[in-house]
Amino acid sequence: MLQGEELLKIGDVTANRKDFESLCPTQQISEKILYLTALKCVHNQTLLTWKNVWQLPPAFADTILDGNNLDEILVPMVEQFMQPTKDLQFIYIPMRENEHRYLMVISIHDSIIWQLDSYLEDDDIQRRRTKMTTVAATVEHILKSDIYNECKLEMKENMRRWRIHAPRGIPNRHQSRDSPSWVLQWMNLEHAFDAQCSEVHVMKMAHGCTLQCNYFMGDSMNSRLK
């Protein structure tokens, strides 16, 4: 079997065998899997009356922090992953630092930015917080744009000054290799976000969460899963 064999196509995004094999034990989860997880959330929200969660792909924060071609790259992501909703409560944003992944969760109602991080040392705190405040400022700018005129949110101004808080109960793994697994697990909390993370495990079986894309996307994808 070829690792480059295309197994899933959704719009312009394709996932190959290697991407799905990254879900196997000891493997580092592919960014494509995190993208598909965010896309799963988009679909789940369409089924609900109270649409209170956005999940963004890894490229969202990467693009903001790179500072290049923001409009060209961000506009399609905004249209796909940030549909207007007056009930928005949480925004999940995967963050990257070299090979390390952590999750930024913006809580609109609480005016707090949660930092879910499986490897956080004292020397990392300020640097990562600076990155999160930069991303938060862009998110606030997007929320105040004309796209959301009919769904204006009641929220505290100046999001980049919101308190950043690291929840209790997350063990320090002292390595980054399995950090995408932690991020995937937290993204799968979706409607059961627990700010204290007291019941978080290393990883649930992610296969079902991702492979169900084959079910819900219908005619919008071309699947050759065997």
Q: Please give the average per-residue pLDDT across 41-64, as a whole number.
A: 92
pLDDT value of position 5: 74
pLDDT at 51 exceeding the cut of 80: yes
**Coil/strand/helix, residue 28:** coil
Check: CB of residue 37 under 8 Å from CB of residue 55.
yes
Q: Tell which residue, 81, 75, 76, 79, has the closest CA to residue 51.
A: 81
pLDDT value of position 220: 44
Residue 147: partners with Cβ closer than 8 Å, 6 or more residues away: 78, 84
Q: Is the dihedral of CA 104, 114, 129, 155 positive or negative?
A: positive
pLDDT value of position 2: 66
pLDDT value of position 6: 75
Q: Which carries the bigger pLDDT value, residue 226 or residue 81?
A: 81
pLDDT at 95 exceeding the cut of 70: yes
pLDDT at 12 exceeding the cut of 90: no
CA-to-CA distance for 22 and 29, rounded, in angstroms? 5
Q: DSSP for 129-178, please give it.
A: HHHHHHHHHHHHHHHTSGGGGGG-----S-GGGSEEEPPTT----SSSTT
pLDDT at 115 exceeding the cut of 90: yes
pLDDT value of position 97: 95
Q: Tell which residue, 99, 54, 106, has the closest CA to residue 80.
A: 54
pLDDT tens per residue, range 170-204: 888 999 999 999 999 999 887 666 555 434 433 34
pLDDT value of position 154: 87
Read off the pTM.
Answer: 0.81
Residue 211 identity: L
pLDDT value of position 225: 45
pLDDT value of position 14: 79
Q: Please give the average per-residue pLDDT across 10-24, as a whole number.
A: 81
51-204 under CATH 3.30.9.10, yes or no = no
